[in-house]
Amino acid sequence: MKFLDLAKVYIRSGSGGGGCVSFRSEKFIEFGGPDGGDGGGGGSVWAEVVDGLNTLIDFRYQQHFFADNGRPGMGRQRTGKDGQDIVLRVPVGTEILDEDEETVIADMTVVGERVLLARGGNGGWGNLHFKSSTNQAPRRANPGQEGIERTLWLRLKLIADVGLLGMPNAGKSTFLAATSNARPKIADYPFTTLHPNLGVVGVDGVEFVVADIPGLIEGASEGRGLGDLFLGHVERCAVLLHLVDGSSGTLIEDYHTIIGELNAYGGGLAEKPRITVLNKIDALDDEERAFLRDELAEASGGPVMLMSGVSREGVEDVLRALRAQIDDNRLRHRLAEEEEETWRP
Has 194 been labeled as part of a binding site?
yes
Has 245 been labeled as part of a binding site?
no
d(CA 190, CA 63): 34
Q: Beta strand 86-90 with 104-108: parallel, antiparallel or unpaired?
A: unpaired
Handedness of CA 156, 162, 163, 169 (dihedral sign): negative
The SS3 call for residue 116 is strand
Has 170 been labeled as part of a binding site?
yes
Handedness of CA 114, 119, 120, 124 (dihedral sign): positive
Has 65 been labeled as part of a binding site?
no
Has 246 been labeled as part of a binding site?
no
Has 212 been labeled as part of a binding site?
yes
Has 310 been labeled as part of a binding site?
yes
Q: Where are the alpha helices (DSSP H) in the chain?
A: 58-61, 172-179, 251-265, 286-300, 315-325, 336-342
Cβ(309)–Cβ(178) below 8 Å: yes
Has 215 been labeled as part of a binding site?
yes
Has 281 been labeled as part of a binding site?
yes
Buried b (16+ CB within 10 A) or exposed e, 80-102: bebbebbebebbbbbbbbeeeee
Has 302 been labeled as part of a binding site?
no
Q: Beta strand 6-12 with 304-306: parallel, antiparallel or unpaired?
A: unpaired
Has 172 been labeled as part of a binding site?
yes
Has 127 been labeled as part of a binding site?
no
Cβ(130)–Cβ(20) below 8 Å: no
Has 327 been labeled as part of a binding site?
no
Has 192 been labeled as part of a binding site?
yes
Residues in the chain: 345
d(CA 106, CA 284): 48
Handedness of CA 276, 177, 108, 263 (dihedral sign): positive
Has 166 been labeled as part of a binding site?
yes
Has 58 been labeled as part of a binding site?
no
Has 309 been labeled as part of a binding site?
yes
End-to-end CA distance of the chain: 42
Q: What is the DSSP letter of 188?
A: S
Has 300 been labeled as part of a binding site?
no
Has 37 been labeled as part of a binding site?
no
Q: Which residues are annotated as a binding site for GTP?
A: 166-173, 191-195, 212-215, 279-282, 308-310
**Numbered residues of the known binding site:** 166-173, 191-195, 212-215, 279-282, 308-310
Which residues sit in the known binding site for Mg(2+)? 173, 193
